[in-house]
Amino acid sequence: MTVRRSLAGVMALVVAGSLVGGGAWALQNTPQQPPTAPTPPAAPTPVVASQQPRPSPGPRPATQTPTPTTTASPPANETPTPAAAKPAATTPDKPAEPLKRARSSVAILQALDKVTTETMRFEAPVGQPIRYKTLIFTVRACETTAPDEDAPDSVAYVTVDTQPKALPGRVAPAGRQIYKGWMYANSPGLNPLEHPVYDAWLIACKTSAPVAPAASR
């Protein structure tokens, strides 16, 4: 009994091994199908832009009527406050007028003979010619500065003509003007008389009667 069971087991193992070997041989000899190529993806279809219908305008919003604002009126028993009165316009003060210069009727002049070094001081009334040797002085105006001016001074507008003396029995030759302008008592060199022989300048202005100069030489 035991021998039979062992033989039966051996036979079962042999059969199973043959079955397994035959199946493996069948699988190896079975022709294999080639792999199928992947299907390319379909190209995207272009989308044509279509004109979309415009949305129909909806109903317009109703316009709102502005509500009028009412100003509160003051109480009946309260009187309105008057507006502040504007200040009266003030006129600007006029600038003070400068003081006028004092005018004199006589000018005091001094002349110098550069050749003989002789000097002479004489008075010349305004508008009257006065001779000093071959020079004739005529004062047109003589003034003294006003008190509100910075530098007090005396000024005179003088014209000087040169005219030789007439010889006996002959007519005096015509004169020739050699100077005209303002002379300043405190600044004799400001506008001096330029002459090769004589020199002259202003001393002061006065209102007294003039004194006749010495006899001409």
Per-position pLDDT tens, the chain of length 217: 555 556 666 676 665 655 555 555 445 555 555 455 555 555 555 444 444 445 555 555 555 555 555 555 555 555 555 555 565 666 667 777 778 888 999 999 999 999 999 999 999 999 999 999 999 999 999 999 988 888 889 999 999 999 988 788 888 788 899 999 999 999 999 999 999 999 999 999 998 654 455 444 4
Task: Report how far residue 128's alpha carbon sits from residue 136's, in angstroms, rounded to the nearest whole number.
Answer: 10
Q: Is 132 exposed, middle or buried (0-12, 13-18, 19+ CB in 10 A)?
A: buried
Question: How far from each other are the two terminal CA atoms of the chain, in whole angstroms?
Answer: 207
For residue 51, what pLDDT is reported?
47
**Could you give phi then psi for residue 151, rounded to 5 degrees?**
-115, 115
For residue 100, what pLDDT is reported?
83
The angle subtended at Cα 196 by Cα 191 and Cα 198, nearest 5°, is 70
For residue 58, what pLDDT is reported?
52
For residue 215, what pLDDT is reported?
45
Unique residue bearing structure tokens 């014209």: 159
For residue 50, what pLDDT is reported?
43
